[in-house]
Amino acid sequence: MKILVAEDQEPSGLALRKTLENLGHEAVVVASGAEAWERIVAEDWRMVITDWMMPHLDGPELCRRIRNREDAPYVYIILLTGRDGRNDRLQGLAAGADDFLTKPVDRDELSVRLAIARRILGVQAELEEKNARLAELVTTDPLTGLANRRRLREVLQTTTLLSGRKSQPCSVVILDIDHFKSINDNFGHAAGDATLKSIAEILKVETRRSDLPVRYGGEEFVILMPATDEDEAFTVAERLRETISVKTQPSQPVTASFGIATCALAQGLGIDALLDAADQALYRSKERGRNCVTHFRELSQV
């Protein structure tokens, strides 16, 4: 186990590191609470042993800082102290310590305490993994494996804010599978699902790493394109349209209509307004006979 030790007394720090290494752990010793805090913020530490009495930033305050971090993995903290009174332990627990060791550190007791810490961190790691899987399920479309509408809105809000601050364009593409209902009606919902999966695979392969392809609902898909102007977005959409048009199901050819909107063309647009602009462009593509690409800018030129 990788352990960060905060101990301002060099002899005690060296002795503790040697004991930890003899127990099979990897120990890094820093000489102050402030230095320990810098390492915790910058690096991934799950196990910390800290002395109570240190100048500038003592052990309890280091505990409080660690516990006050938001969206950070759990850190198991053992507080080293010469104090063994009830009030001292309550104060340490209130600050966020998980366990205590009394100086001088007994090797066997340290080994047992670390075994407990390992079990607790193992359970915590499993919980974090399960929570991450649940979060992914909530924001993933189960049929296609693409992000869903909820994930789109989360990312779109951040992306448009960053685009505004950095004066960068941001484009949104909406595509709708042409005559999708006829596929379901004529060949069954299994054929319809196969078509949706096929389109999703094309979007995964043909979009850039920075783009976010989304199953928006039904036969509609959205692609969020950060730092992409109207011409670049049109080029990508046209390439996707051509790729989809040559992909055929055993039953019939598949085509799609596209609508694009770009933030730079209408600064101040909210998320809903941006999506609505792309949807208006999509509607124009359908009016033009489908299987084509329309940018929102073209609507103002008519």
Same domain, 105 and 211: no
Domain-embedded: residue 271:
yes
Same domain, 67 and 154: no
Same domain, 116 and 157: no
In the prediction, which pLDDT does 302 show? 54
Taking the C-alpha atoms of residue 101 and residue 251, their distance in angstroms, rounded to an integer, is 72
User: Span 138-166, mean pLDDT?
Assistant: 81
pLDDT in tens, 225-262: 988 999 999 999 999 999 998 875 556 789 999 999 99
Q: Is the pLDDT of residue 49 over 90?
A: yes
Same domain, 194 and 280: yes
pLDDT in tens, 8-36: 999 999 999 999 999 999 999 999 999 99
Q: Is the pLDDT of residue 266 over 70?
A: no
3-state SS assignment for residue 222: strand
Q: How many domains does the chain have?
A: 2
Of 63-77, 107-121, 265-279, the least confident:
265-279
- Between the alpha carbon of residue 39 and those of residues 32, 35, 42, 234, the distances in Å are 11, 6, 5, 46
pLDDT in tens, 116-148: 999 999 998 888 887 777 666 678 999 999 999
Same domain, 187 and 113: no
Taking the C-alpha atoms of residue 58 and residue 33, their distance in angstroms, rounded to an integer, is 6
Listed residues 104, 138, 172: the one ending a domain: 138
Listed residues 116, 138, 160: the one ending a domain: 138
In the prediction, which pLDDT does 6 show? 95
Same domain, 216 and 84: no
Q: For the stretch 77-112, what's the b/e string if a residue is b when 16 or more beta carbons lie within 10 angstroms of its beta carbon?
A: bbbbbeeeeeebeebbeebbbbbbbebebeeeebee
Range of the domain at 212: 149-299
Same domain, 154 and 288: yes
CATH of the domain at 103: 3.40.50.2300
Same domain, 52 and 157: no
Dihedral sign, Cα of residue 15, residue 20, residue 22, residue 26? negative
Domain-embedded: residue 143:
no
Same domain, 96 and 219: no
Same domain, 67 and 111: yes
pLDDT in tens, 195-213: 999 999 999 999 988 899 9
Our CA angle for 116, 118, 122, nearest 5°, is 120
Q: Is the pLDDT of residue 65 over 80?
A: yes
Q: Which residues are catalytic?
A: 219
Same domain, 153 and 287: yes
User: Span 99-126, mean pLDDT?
Assistant: 91
Q: Is the pLDDT of residue 182 over 60?
A: yes
Domain-embedded: residue 10:
yes
CATH of the domain at 245: 3.30.70.270
Domain-embedded: residue 144:
no
In the prediction, which pLDDT does 165 show? 61
